[in-house]
Structure 1
């Protein structure tokens, strides 16, 4: 996808490396990643456990810092940013969705979403975010009263309610059965389409890759393969 004014690069990463030291052992999680991600794309990062997917996602989201290389978000360099700058970046620009929903049990669906919108610059109304994910009739339900798939949709509503430019999803269907997972993927597809949010989705499940604009396969900390889907399948057509 060419870079132009209508479709600017959101992230540009060059030469990213990440080394973890575990006692005397060095673990090379990333080994020189070059990557550009554009506004409005739905990108799937595919690969087995240990391939570097989560490390890459955490660096893009400002949750971790690379050992080497550079990451830029629009015209801001994230590499070397202070912790307070990274906190502001995460708060204002990035929504996160994880495998486990991390909802606050004592708060209703509406209150879980409001916990984020109250500290955001230009948020959606919690009710609108929950309607977007198909839970407009579950506003006052507590997490224990919701199924796993509904809890994950509340987590997605919470992530998108602050109107982020970027949605980073780490195995968002990993704790769900196939049918429920498809419902969650349909929500992510809708958010990407209707809000134009750059959506990056980590999975080890190759079947999910068919819904992406672009698929990037990682292996041993490197990009092993990258391709565009000539014919995207809708999330409703997926199964695994």
Structure 2
């Protein structure tokens, strides 16, 4: 789904800065980032370690708050929300996928996904979520019986089972080999396509950027460039 037609800004960040104080030292993680993300768009945030990608994603996802600047999610100003409102926002609107899968070892794939559906207002069936990542046949397996790539796909199913408007992925293939990473990226792209979920993926791997509608490059806490992909590639067609 192209964002060009709708142009509804799901996120609007204006002049966002984030300073962490570590003892006597101030670390400027973000230095005045302004950015719109559009409905149904697949964005890649690209940059070296320490460029501010994770900080930006965490602020969009309501896990962190900026030192200055404003962030709107649709018509809600996240930067004016209190902790309870941010918790509600994360529960209802955002799916998170991290580099490490954080599955509960004593629960099956299906049960891991079910955990999230219990707090959601109109969740999808856990098996349907597993079907979207092509793991329905592994529903009764425990994490220890699954490969790393399968565990990450269960984590994606868990993130999308609450039907979030937004899927935020921080280095989702960081712990995986290339082949396994492609399968995981295919699952993320399928969800973006089929559910119309606005999707942002953090990576330091420029190859993955070929899958995105737009690539936002960060360097030293600032946006270094924004590139629109005219010929978006599928995960299998990536030029490694």
TM-score, length of structure 1 as denominator length: 0.97
| Residue of structure 1 in register with 2:101 after alignment | 101
| Residue of structure 2 in register with 1:82 after alignment | 82
Give the Cα–Cα distance (whole angstroms) in 2 for the partners of residues 141 and 159 of structure 1. 18
Q: Is the 8 A contact 1:171 1:201 kept in 2?
A: yes
Structure 1 residues 32-90: Cα deviation after superposition (integer angstroms, max 9, x where no partner) = 00000001100000000000000000000000000000000000000031111000000
| Residue of structure 2 in register with 1:126 after alignment | 126
Give the Cα–Cα distance (whole angstroms) in 1 for the partners of residues 239 and 57 of structure 2. 25
Give the Cα–Cα distance (whole angstroms) in 1 for the partners of residues 232 and 149 of structure 2. 24
Structure 1 residues 6-34: Cα deviation after superposition (integer angstroms, max 9, x where no partner) = 34110000010000011111000000000
Distance 1:77-1:228 versus aligned 2 partners, 3 A rule: same
Shift of 1:236: 1.1
Structure 1 residues 162-220: Cα deviation after superposition (integer angstroms, max 9, x where no partner) = 00000000000000000000000000010000000000000000000000000000000
Pairs within 5 Å for 1:139-154: 139-154=139-154
Query: What stretches of structure 1 of length at least 5 have no aligned partner?
Result: none
Note if 1:169 corresponds to 2:158: no
Q: Is the 8 A contact 1:7 1:40 kept in 2?
A: no
Give the Cα–Cα distance (whole angstroms) in 2 for the partners of residues 122 and 9 of structure 1. 23
Distance 1:2-1:93 versus aligned 2 partners, 3 A rule: closer
Q: Equivalent residue of 1:64, what SS? A: coil
Shift of 1:239: 5.2
Give the Cα–Cα distance (whole angstroms) in 2 for the partners of residues 140 and 7 of structure 1. 41
Consecutive aligned runs of 4 or more in structure 1 exceeding 3 Å deviation: 1-4
Note if 1:182 corresponds to 2:178: no
| Aligned residue pairs, count | 239
TM-score, length of structure 2 as denominator length: 0.97
Q: Is the 8 A contact 1:45 1:200 kept in 2?
A: yes
| Residue of structure 1 in register with 2:197 after alignment | 197
Distance 1:2-1:117 versus aligned 2 partners, 3 A rule: closer
Q: Equivalent residue of 2:124, what SS? A: coil
Query: What stretches of structure 2 of length at least 5 have no aligned partner?
Result: none
* Root-mean-square deviation over aligned CA pairs: 1.2
Give the Cα–Cα distance (whole angstroms) in 1 for the partners of residues 7 and 139 of structure 2. 35
Shift of 1:2: 7.5
Q: Is the 8 A contact 1:179 1:239 kept in 2?
A: no
Q: Equivalent residue of 2:207, what SS? A: helix
Give the Cα–Cα distance (whole angstroms) in 2 for the partners of residues 83 and 53 of structure 1. 22
Note if 1:231 corresponds to 2:231: yes
Shift of 1:3: 7.7
Q: Equivalent residue of 1:30, what SS? A: strand
